[in-house]
Structures are given as structure tokens and as C-alpha cells.
A and B are shown apart, each in its own frame.
Chain A
Amino acid sequence: TQLLEQSPQFLSIQEGENLTVYCNSSSVFSSLQWYRQEPGEGPVLLVTVVTGGEVKKLKRLTFQFGDARKDSSLHITAAQPGDTGLYLCAGAPGSGGSNYKLTFGKGTLLTVNP
């Protein structure tokens, strides 16, 4: 069974601070996705990383896939209250096909205080 461990579980910071959230596994994934979920809503895909060592930027968010494709990190610069939410990482096994099971971490609940 593939497991994804996210840390920290909870994070409360002040507006303007930087933060990093980690997603680790002993398994190799073909790709890894990051989602953000707000209360009462479903997860929304932020980014997919596919290549080991890949770095993707989405405005103030920087996502990195580990060289061995077992871990990933999400770095937020100058956090804003609008960044508040549950951040989930999800790993995908294999590639292609119609069978595409995602394994999710339990998430990091981020609160950015104004």
C-alpha cells in the first residue's frame, strides 16, 4: 500500500510569512498532485508534477517533486489570508490507462491570519 505523509498537520502563520509544506513517501509515484480544499468544497487541483526534480511555480506558490519521485514540497511566499485552506498532496501510480487511483495524504491545514 502506498502511503503519503504530510507535514506539518496544522500550520498557523501571520500574513506575509513564508511557509513550506512537505509530502513524503517510501513509494515512487509517476506523478504527484497538489490540491487545495476550502471548507464545504471539494479539493481543487493546483498543480501536477511529473518529472523527478521538477519545479513548478504558480504565482506565490512553488512546487517541487523530489529527484526520486517519492516526495514533494509546496512553498508559499508572503502568505495571504486567501491562502487559508487544507492542502492535500496525492500520488498517482503507473501512467496512462483508464485505471487511475490517487493516494492522498491527510493534508496540512493552513491558517493565515491577517
Chain B
Amino acid sequence: DSGVTQTPKHLITATGQRVTLRCSPRSGDLSVYWYQQSLDQGLQFLIQYYNGEERAKGNILERFSAQQFPDLHSELNLSSLELGDSALYFCASSVAPAGGDTKTQYFGPGTRLLVL
């Protein structure tokens, strides 16, 4: 158990719909990262938040957005869903309290999204 929690574990929805994925980082971790994993593209970095602020963007579509709340949990919003958005979405957290390894990312169990 990495200490990172993600909900829901599975999500089935239809094209055109909007969904929200939730992530709670490990206690004390300030950074949250979102990744998309598909069979053809592998694990792709989407976006990073650090202590509530966006810090880095990767291959994130304009239909997707994220935010990190004051309690450090994060949500990834996916809208106008397309069939190709079906994938595993992982959240990871890093930046342990002072003295820890700030570079190690700990991954949650993921949310499997199926768009029909």
C-alpha cells in the first residue's frame, strides 16, 4: 500500500460525458501528479500540482483539467469524453516532509475509465 488513494476504482461512462477522478496523496506529500496509461502510449504524464499550484504540464488535453485543494487532495476532470480517453488514470504523490526523499513518486492504484 503506497498510501495514495484514488476513487473510484472503475468508471464506465458514455461519450460526451464528464467525469471527476479523485486522489488523496500520502500524508505530508505536497506534490500530486496525474498520469494516463494506455496500451499504445504507455504511461504519460498529464499534470503536476505542488501545494495547490500548477507546476508542470505534460500531454494533457484541453478537455481535461485538474486542481489541488487546500487539504492537498486533487481532482482530475475529464469532459466531452471520447472513446480514446478509455485508459488507466494514475495519481502519484511526492515530497515527503523535511529529511525524506523528495524525488520518489508513490503511485495510487489507479482509476480504470471505460468510455462507451
Bound complex: CA of A43 vs CA of B110, how far in Å?
10
Given the complex of chains A and B, what is the CA–CA distance between A99 and B103 in angstroms?
10
B81 to chain A, nearest CB (A): 22
Nearest Cβ on chain B to A84's Cβ, whole angstroms: 18
From residue 40 to 86 of chain A, which have CB atoms closer than 8 A to chain B?
A: 40-45, 48
Which listed residue, B43, B45, B50, touches A43 by the CB 8 Å rule? B43
| A48-B103 in contact given A42-B2, A42-B110, A43-B43 (Cβ < 8 Å) | yes
Give the size of the chain B interface in residues (CB under 8 angstroms).
30
Interface SS of A by simple majority: loop
Residues of A within 8 A of B4 (CB): 42
| Pair B107/A42 contact, Cβ less than 8 Å | yes
B103 near A92 with CB under 8 A, answer yes
Asked if B31 and A100 sit within 8 Å, CB to CB, the answer is yes
Q: Verify B42–A104 contact, CB threshold 8 A.
A: yes
Min distance, Cβ B30 to any Cβ of chain A, angstroms: 8
Chain A residues near B50: list those with CB within 8 A: 98-99
Q: Which A residues lie at the B interface, using CB under 8 A?
A: 31, 35, 40-45, 48, 88, 90, 92, 96, 98-107
